[in-house]
Structure 1
Amino acid sequence: MPAVPSSIIEPIWDQFVALIPPIIDTHPLGCHRPRIADRIIFDKLIQVLVLGASYIKISDSTCSATTLRTRWDEWITTGIFHTLEQICLEFYDRIIGLELDNLSVDGCIVKAPCGGEVAGRSPVDRGKQGTKRSLMVDGTGIPIGCVVAGANLHDSPLLRPTLDKLGRFGFDLPEAITVHLDAGYDSKKTRSLLEELGCDGVISTKGELLQAGGRWGVERTNSWHNRGFKKLALCTERRARVVEAFIALANAVIIVRRLIRQAWTSYRWDTRPARRP
Structure 2
Amino acid sequence: MGQTLVPDGLWEIVEPLLPAHRERPQGGGTRHVDDRAVFTAIVYVLTTGCAWRHLPAEFGVSKATAHCRFVAWTQAGLWRRLHRAVLDRLGERGAIDWSRAVVDAASVRAKKGGPLTGPNPVDRGKPGSKLHVLTDAGGLPLAVATSAANTHDSLALIPLVQAIPAIRSRRGPRRRRPAKLHADKGYDYPHLRARLRRRRITPRLTPRIARRGVETSTRLGRHRWVVERSFAWLTGYRRLTLRYERCARLFTAFLTLAAALTCYKKLAT
Give the TM bin, normalised by the shorter chain: 0.7 to 0.9
AA paired with 1:205?
R
Residue number in structure 2 paired with 1:255? 263
- Is the 1:9–1:253 contact (alpha carbons within 8 Å) kept by the matching residues of 2? no
Residue number in structure 2 paired with 1:272? none
- Deviation, 1:191, is 2.0
Q: Could you tell me which of 126, 130, 139 is aligned with 1:132?
A: 130
- Deviation, 1:176, is 6.8
- Deviation, 1:202, is 0.8
Please give the secondary structure, in 2, of the residue aligned with 1:106. Answer: strand
Q: Distance in 2 between matches of 1:54 and 1:175?
A: 38
Q: Could you tell me which of 17, 20, 24 is aligned with 1:22?
A: 20
88-97 or 17-26, larger mean C-alpha shift: 17-26
Please give the secondary structure, in 2, of the residue aligned with 1:5. Answer: helix
1:199-227 per-residue CA deviation (whole Å, 9 max, x = no partner) reads: 2311223342424131122111011111x
Q: Could you tell me which of 57, 62, 69 is aligned with 1:71?
A: 69
**CA gap 1:188/1:95 in 2 versus in 1, 3 angstroms:** same
Q: Distance in 2 between matches of 1:104 and 1:224?
A: 15
RMSD: 2.2
Residue number in structure 2 paired with 1:240? 248
Stretches of structure 2 lacking an aligned partner (at least 5 in a row): none
**CA gap 1:113/1:76 in 2 versus in 1, 3 angstroms:** same
Does 2:210 align with 1:204? yes
Instruction: Note the 1:57-68 alignment, pairs <5 A.
Output: 57-58=54-55, 60=57, 62-68=60-66
AA paired with 2:32?
R
Q: Distance in 2 between matches of 1:126 and 1:25?
A: 51
**CA gap 1:79/1:175 in 2 versus in 1, 3 angstroms:** closer
**CA gap 1:131/1:209 in 2 versus in 1, 3 angstroms:** closer
**CA gap 1:132/1:68 in 2 versus in 1, 3 angstroms:** same
Residue number in structure 1 paired with 2:187? 185
Q: Could you tell me which of 158, 161, 168 is aligned with 1:160?
A: 158
**CA gap 1:179/1:120 in 2 versus in 1, 3 angstroms:** same
**CA gap 1:230/1:175 in 2 versus in 1, 3 angstroms:** closer
Residue number in structure 1 paired with 2:34? 37
**TM-score normalised by structure 2 residue count:** 0.87
- Deviation, 1:182, is 0.9
**CA gap 1:15/1:44 in 2 versus in 1, 3 angstroms:** same
- Deviation, 1:112, is 1.2
Does 2:230 align with 1:221? yes
Q: Distance in 1 between matches of 2:4 and 2:189?
A: 43
**CA gap 1:38/1:259 in 2 versus in 1, 3 angstroms:** same
Q: Distance in 2 between matches of 1:105 and 1:175?
A: 14
- Deviation, 1:240, is 2.4
**CA gap 1:174/1:89 in 2 versus in 1, 3 angstroms:** closer
Q: Distance in 2 between matches of 1:213 and 1:69?
A: 42
- Deviation, 1:27, is 5.5
AA paired with 1:44?
A
Stretches of structure 1 lacking an aligned partner (at least 5 in a row): 262-277
1:97-130 per-residue CA deviation (whole Å, 9 max, x = no partner) reads: 3112300000111111111222111111111111
Q: Distance in 1 between matches of 2:164 and 2:223?
A: 19
- Runs of 4+ in structure 1 displaced over 4 angstroms? none
State the identity as a percent. 27
**CA gap 1:45/1:239 in 2 versus in 1, 3 angstroms:** same
AA paired with 1:195?
R
Residue number in structure 1 paired with 2:7? 9
